[in-house]
Amino acid sequence: EVHWMLLGESLANGQQLYQDVWDFSGPLAANVYWFIHEVVGRSPLTLHFLALGLVFYQAAIFNIVLVQRDVFNENTYIPALLYVIFMSLSFDFFTLSPALMATTFLLQTAHQLFSLSDRQTSDPRIFKMGLYLGIASMLYLPAFLFFIMVFLGLASSSFKWTAD
User: pLDDT tens-digit profile of 49-81?
Assistant: 999 999 999 999 999 999 988 888 888 899 999
Q: What is the pLDDT of residue 120?
A: 59
Q: Average pLDDT in the 20-36 region?
A: 90
Which residues is 21 bridged to in the sheet?
A: 17
pLDDT band at residue 38 under the 50/70/90 scheme: very high
pLDDT band (50, 70, 90) for residue 160? low
28, 139 contact by CB (below 8 A): yes
Higher pLDDT, 86 or 118: 86
pLDDT tops 60 at residue 118: no
Please say whether the beta carbons of 115 and 77 come within 8 A.
Answer: no
Name 44's Cβ contacts closer than 8 Å, sequence gap at least 6.
1, 2, 5, 95
- Check residue 117 and report its DSSP letter: T
Dihedral pair phi/psi, residue 17, rounded to 5°: -70, 140
Q: Give the Cα separation of 43 and 36 in Å (integer).
A: 9
What percent of the chain is predicted at pLDDT more than 90? 46
Q: What is the pLDDT of residue 152?
A: 83
State the pLDDT at residue 158. 65
Nearest 5°: phi and psi at 25?
-70, 150
Nearest-CA neighbor of 47 among 35, 64, 58, 62? 35
| 153 has a pLDDT exceeding 80 | no
Residue 125's pLDDT is: 83
106/121: higher pLDDT: 106
Residue 31 is predicted with a pLDDT of 93
pLDDT reading at 119 higher than 80: no
